[in-house]
């Protein structure tokens, strides 16, 4: 019989003997069995299995975007795999409800046996963070030592290589910068199209109409008009800074932004003209990255709340400040913040600059019949 078609048993295929024999209760080793330690172990083992699948899918997407030219069909593949990652993340968030059935007193029955083990020692989670784009310089440390110091030398070497290589964030930035139909020099259009200039004019017209509408409104008083005009002025100031590439670079140096100016303008164009057929998949791809970032933040927040509920303000088993540290990472360890921020720059469809016919044709699916 062909080896490829030979039969295999369910138990052997899934290596169930290894998996189901991997729950070793420390409390039992100390002759003080704690019933809920089994749940604690299984939940965290399941997390690690899902991390493995997420890394597997993420690496495949990074390979696709690491190519000099990203094929259109591969964007669809990337979307489906990022969508799977997002769905897994939702399970990871929901799984916290299961571990919350472990009450504070239940946990205290075996917590001392865990020291100094900690989730901070999850190598796969660190791999995931770095691969997405959370590099060393942007990371909040919970000790005076490097985050990688808790791992073996082999694992530290892997993390160092990941730090040196392009992350998903950096690959996306390069992809946005070289998308062929996002040519800000407008050399691809016979009629010429300067997206940034056209967008700037549309923003100015939009704000001018809003100012007139406020001044002409007879249903609000002068004080309310003054307040609204002040807010509109602040909006105008914000938009004005967007058109200043030097200001953008300064914000990158200050850590306020991550994506380059050109990549940001490309992402903006994709979002504004998302209804054009060729831009639909790139838009969906960017949205999936936002989903993953949002769900990672949700997981961090839920994790922090779970720790507060279970431990209060106790110090974590790994030596961190516990809840306070976890809550801070939820706020500060956002990776695709720049893509979230694109929403601030969006304008109504009615104000969108009209695309030249030949450029619009390039953004469409065209074929000829003979």
Neighbours of 288 (CB within 10 A): 20
> In b/e form, how buried is each residue of 234-273, taking b as 16+ CB within 10 angstroms?
eebeebeebeeeeebeebbeeeebbbbbbbbbbbbbbbbb
Is residue 163 within 8 Å of residue 345, measured between CB atoms?
Answer: no
Long-range contacts of 197-201 (CB under 8 A, 24+ apart): 198/353, 199/268, 199/272, 199/347, 199/353, 200/243, 201/353
pLDDT tens track for 194-232: 888 888 889 888 888 888 989 888 888 888 888 888 888
pLDDT tens track for 73-126: 899 999 999 999 999 999 999 999 999 999 999 999 999 999 888 888 999 999
Least confident of 32-41, 49-58, 183-192, 351-360: 183-192
Domain segments of the chain: what residues?
15-181+255-344
Neighbours of 329 (CB within 10 A): 20
Which tokens hold the place of 23?
């729950």
Residue 89 CB-half CA count within 13 A? 26
pLDDT value of position 144: 67
CATH architecture, domain 15-181+255-344: Up-down Bundle (1.20)
> What gap in Å lies between CA 284 and CA 149, rounded to an integer?
38
pLDDT tens track for 134-161: 998 888 876 667 888 889 999 999 999 9
Long-range contacts of 326-330 (CB under 8 A, 24+ apart): 326/300, 327/301, 328/140, 329/140, 329/300, 330/297, 330/300, 330/301, 330/304
> What gap in Å lies between CA 48 and CA 241, rounded to an integer?
43
Average pLDDT in the 297-319 region?
82
At 357, is the pLDDT very low, low, confident or very high (cuts 50, 70, 90)?
confident
């Amino acid at each position: 019989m062909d080896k490829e078609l030979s039969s295999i048993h369910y138990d052997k295929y899934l290596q169930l003997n290894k998996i189901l024999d991997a729950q070793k209760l420390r409390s039992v080793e100390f002759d003080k069995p704690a019933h809920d330690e089994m749940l604690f172990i299984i939940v965290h083992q399941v997390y690690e299995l899902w991390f493995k699948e997420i890394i597997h899918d993420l690496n495949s997407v990074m390979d696709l975007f690491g190519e000099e030219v990203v094929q259109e069909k591969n964007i669809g593949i990337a979307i489906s795999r990022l969508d799977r990652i997002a769905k897994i993340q939702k399970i990871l968030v929901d799984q916290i409800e299961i571990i919350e059935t472990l009450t504070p007193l239940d946990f205290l029955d075996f917590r001392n046996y865990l020291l100094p083990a900690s989730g901070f020692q999850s190598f796969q989670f660190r791999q995931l963070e770095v691969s997405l784009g959370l590099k060393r310089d942007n990371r909040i440390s919970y000790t005076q030592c490097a985050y990688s110091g808790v791992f073996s030398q082999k694992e530290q070497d892997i993390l160092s290589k990941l730090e040196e290589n392009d992350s998903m964030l950096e690959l996306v930035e390069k992809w946005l910068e070289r998308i062929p139909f996002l040519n800000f020099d407008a050399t691809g259009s016979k009629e010429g199209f300067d997206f940034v200039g056209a967008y700037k004019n549309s923003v100015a017209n939009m704000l001018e109409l809003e100012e007139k509408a406020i001044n002409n409104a007879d249903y609000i008083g002068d004080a309310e008009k003054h307040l609204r005009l002040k807010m509109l002025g602040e909006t105008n100031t914000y938009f004005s800074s967007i058109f200043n590439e030097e200001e953008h670079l300064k914000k990158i140096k200050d850590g306020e932004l991550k994506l380059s100016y050109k990549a940001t303008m490309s992402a903006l164009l994709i979002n504004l003209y998302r209804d054009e057929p060729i831009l639909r998949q790139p838009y969906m791809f960017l949205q999936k990255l936002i989903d993953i970032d949002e769900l990672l933040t949700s997981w961090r927040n839920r994790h922090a709340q779970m720790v507060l509920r279970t431990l209060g303000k106790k110090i974590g088993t790994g030596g961190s400040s516990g809840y306070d540290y976890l809550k801070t990472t939820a706020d500060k360890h956002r990776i695709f913040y720049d893509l979230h921020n694109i929403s601030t720059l969006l304008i109504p469809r009615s104000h969108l600059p009209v695309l030249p016919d030949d450029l619009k044709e390039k953004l469409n699916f065209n074929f000829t019949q003979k």
